[in-house]
Amino acid sequence: MAKIRMGMVGGGEGAFIGAVHRMAAALDGEIELVCGAFSADAARSQRSGAGLYLPPDRVYDNYQSMLEAESMLPISERIQFVAIVTPNNMHFPVAEAALRSGFHVMSDKPATFNLDEALQLRDLLSETGLLYGLTHTYTGYPLVKEARAKVAAGELGRVRKLVVEYPQGWLADRQEDTDNKQAAWRLDPAQAGVSSCMGDIGVHAANLAEYVSGLKISEICADLTAFVPGRALDDDGSVLLRFDNGARGVLTASQISVGEENALSICLYGEKGGLEWRQQEPNTLWLKWPDRPTEMLRAAGSYLGDLGTANTRTPMGHPEGYLEAFANLYIAFARKIRAQEAGDTSGKQVLDCPGIEEAIRGMTFIELAVAASASETKWHTFEQR
**What angle, 0 to 180 degrees and rounded to 10, lies between the N-to-C axes of helices 115-128 and 356-374?**
160
Torsion region of 315: left, alpha or beta (phi above 0 gives left; psi -120 to 50 gives alpha): beta
370 vs 232: CA distance, rounded Å: 12
pLDDT digit of tens for each residue in the chain (385 aa)?
799 999 999 999 988 899 999 999 999 999 999 999 999 999 999 999 999 999 999 999 999 999 999 999 999 999 999 999 999 999 999 999 999 999 999 999 999 999 999 999 999 999 999 999 999 999 999 999 999 999 999 999 999 999 999 999 999 999 999 999 999 999 999 999 999 999 999 999 999 999 999 999 999 999 999 999 999 999 999 999 999 999 999 999 999 999 999 999 999 999 999 999 999 999 999 999 999 999 999 999 999 999 999 999 999 999 999 999 999 999 999 999 999 999 987 777 778 999 999 999 999 999 999 999 999 999 999 998 8
Chain center to CA of 306: 22
How many CA atoms are closer than 13 Å to the CA of 252, on its beta-carbon side? 11
Q: What does DSSP say about strands 81-85 and 104-107: parallel, antiparallel, or unpaired?
A: parallel
Q: Which domains does the chain have, with CATH numbers?
A: 4-134 (3.40.50.720), 141-314+360-381 (3.30.360.10)
What length is written for the chain? Answer: 385
- Closest alpha carbon to 366 in 261, 251, 244: 251
All residues at 6 or more sequence positions from 361 whose CB lies less than 8 Å from its CB, including other chains: 206, 207, 210, 216, 217
- The alpha carbon dihedral of 162, 117, 235, 109 has a sign of positive
Q: What does DSSP say about strands 217-225 and 159-167: parallel, antiparallel, or unpaired?
A: unpaired
What's the pLDDT score for residue 15? 87
3-state secondary structure of 336: helix
Is the peptide bond between 110 and the residue preceding it cis, with omega within 30 degrees of 0?
yes
Chain center to CA of 375: 28
377 vs 371: CA distance, rounded Å: 10
- Closest alpha carbon to 228 in 178, 176, 193, 291: 176
What's the pLDDT score for residue 54? 98
How many CA atoms are closer than 13 Å to the CA of 265, on its beta-carbon side? 17
Torsion region of 258: left, alpha or beta (phi above 0 gives left; psi -120 to 50 gives alpha): beta
First to last CA, the chain: 39
Specify the pTM. Answer: 0.97
286 vs 328: CA distance, rounded Å: 22
